[in-house]
Amino acid sequence: MTQQVLAVFVVSAIDFLIAVVFFLQPRRLPATAAYAIFAFTAALWGFGIGFFLWTTNQTLTDFFARLIYFAGGLIAPTFYYFTLLFTKENALSFRKKTAIFLPSVVFFFFYFFTDLIIKGGWKIGVAGYFVYGPLRLLFYIHLWLFFILAFRELLKKYRAASDSALKKQIILITLGTFAALPLFYNSRFIWMGPLTTIIWVALVSYALARHRLLNAKVIAMELFVFLIWLSAVIETALSQSGGELVRKFTPLVVVGFFGYLLIRSVLREVRTREEIEKLAHNLENANEKLTKLDEAKSEFISLAGNQLRAPLTVIKGYTSLVLEGSFGDIDKKARGALSRVSTATNQLIKLVAELLDLSRIEAGKIKYEFKKMYLDDVVDEIIKEFDAIFKPKGILVEFKNENNRAFSVFGDADKLREIVVNLVDNALKYSKIGPILITLRPKSQRLLLSIQDNGVGIPQDELPRLFTKFGRTEIAQKERPEGIGLGLYFVKKIAEDHKGRVWAESEGVGKGSTFFAELPVA
């Protein structure tokens, strides 16, 4: 065996090993599998040339001459198949696969069972010569058609790529192909053809590694274990006696077993990491979709709220005029119906206002006019406004002011008013008996407002839900089914925008509750 033929076998074995490594990847994407097929075809072509140059049997020489042309003709469609899948994660349809490989199946029959394309071959040293049939041109048409299609596909991917790294990878694949083509079918230097495939295979392997279509850690471990095992096999084969063979065979088995366990452990680690990466990617995509849906929902709420507000204002205005007698006297029955309409309209107006506030909060469009003010005045004013509601229910309201305008706050008067109104209204809605105790007192450079009631109370496990969006306790849903759970959410947002905080405490169901709002002093 000449050095040239030995080099052909070594390079072909490397191509075959690369094909096996690619095929055994834990995350075998279609592009990775396609490249494994291409590398295997290149190895088959190389082995065919190696045996063609090595054998002295004319029958085998003719057989390997046919194999050279079959495998060589198959390289072009397998390379085209790879270029179609490069940068993609989805496999080709069965129809496309058939269109690519069916001609090779037909050519297989022509190569091995007829003399229409090639009849045989002979060699002089390491130069190969072939005897062709009348349809030899079909081979070149088939070969160059798929190479042209492959280059066309690479050019399309290069133009479509926005990533400069991906463009470099496509250039590497193209350069590797052009490096192999000049000696692809040169009869005088036929032994050099397989040697150029190692450049081709190496450049494309590097491009795949850069494109994360294979795992370098797995490949390195597989090659490491394979080389150790191969050295053990060679050492065992060189044994001089039966006893030495037995002694060296045992370490060979041990090396193979532990190498298998090592590779399996690495594969498991890689699969776990890739699953985590996949879950993280899916979670990120889901989060993006949810964000877009949330934005669309906020836009819809804002649009719908603005469209509803005008007709509701008209309904409220005309209902009030009718109830006041501006359009003449109405009977008691009609007045009762209109009163219910007025109540429902007010509830709808409040709901629309809350939804509009929600859309503004989520869009970051709430505007504040901060200035120095006394929270005492806000609380006093709201208690007077609620007096007409407290008295009919027989609920006593006490305001214990321990601040007495000693400390002011720096905030938006209208927004801070919403905090107090929501908390007082909340205490009133869920209380059947009094008293309701409102306390304002300074505490370590902060003002603490507390509103204590003797209402339905709150279960301990439901306290964290109170200040969340649409968060309502089960008792609240039974007592006030018309609410939607936005009031306390607004209170929390406004307090946080004023660098304050809110929270609630309760000893349980039926034991009342206390709501707190804490704001920094000016």
94 contact partners, CB below 8 Å, separation of at least 6: none
Preceding peptide of 251 cis, ω within 30°: no
- Please, which residues have CB within 8 angstroms of residue 6's CB and are 6 or more apart in sequence? none
From the list 513, 518, 195, 494, the residue with the least C-alpha distance to 357 is: 494
Cβ(80)–Cβ(39) below 8 Å? no
Place of tokens 């349980």: 508
Task: Encode pLDDT of 202-243 as tens digits.
Answer: 666 666 655 454 455 555 555 566 666 666 666 666 666 767
d(CA 188, CA 98): 35
Please give the domain boundaries of the chain with CATH numbers for all domains.
3-214 (1.20.1070.10), 283-363 (1.10.287.130), 371-520 (3.30.565.10)
Residue 132, beta-bridge partner list: 118
The pLDDT of residue 227 is 63
Chain segment 175-187, per-residue pLDDT in tens: 766 665 654 555 6
218 vs 227: CA distance, rounded Å: 14
Which residue matches tokens 């790294």?
165
Nearest residue to 68 (alpha-carbon basis) of 136, 32, 118: 118
3-state secondary structure of 445: coil
C-alpha 283/C-alpha 308 separation (Å) is 36
State the chain's mean pLDDT as an integer: 79
pLDDT given for residue 99 in this prediction: 92
Give the Å distances, CA to CA, from 218 to 103, 122, 221, 224, 226: 35, 43, 5, 10, 12
Confidence (pLDDT) at 213: 43
What helix, strand, coil percent values describe the chain, rounded to 5?
70, 10, 20
Q: 442-483, pLDDT tens digit by residue?
A: 988 899 999 999 888 888 888 888 888 777 777 777 777 666
Closest CA to 309 of 351, 363, 359: 351
The whole-model pTM stands at 0.47
| Residue listed under structure tokens 């032994």 | 191
- DSSP code for 469: T
Question: Where are the strands (E) in 150-253, listed by range?
Answer: none
Residue partners of 67: CB distance under 8 A and separation at least 6: 44, 48, 51, 52, 111
Residues comprising the chain, all counted = 522
| Distance from C-alpha of 63 to C-alpha of 69, rounded to nearest angstrom | 10
Q: List, for the chain, all residue ranges whose pLDDT scores fall below the cut of 70.
A: 1, 25-28, 125-127, 176-189, 191, 198, 200-240, 242, 245, 248, 252, 255-256, 259-267, 269-271, 273-274, 297-309, 354, 358-360, 362-365, 481-483
Residue 486, phi then psi, degrees to nearest 5: -110, -20
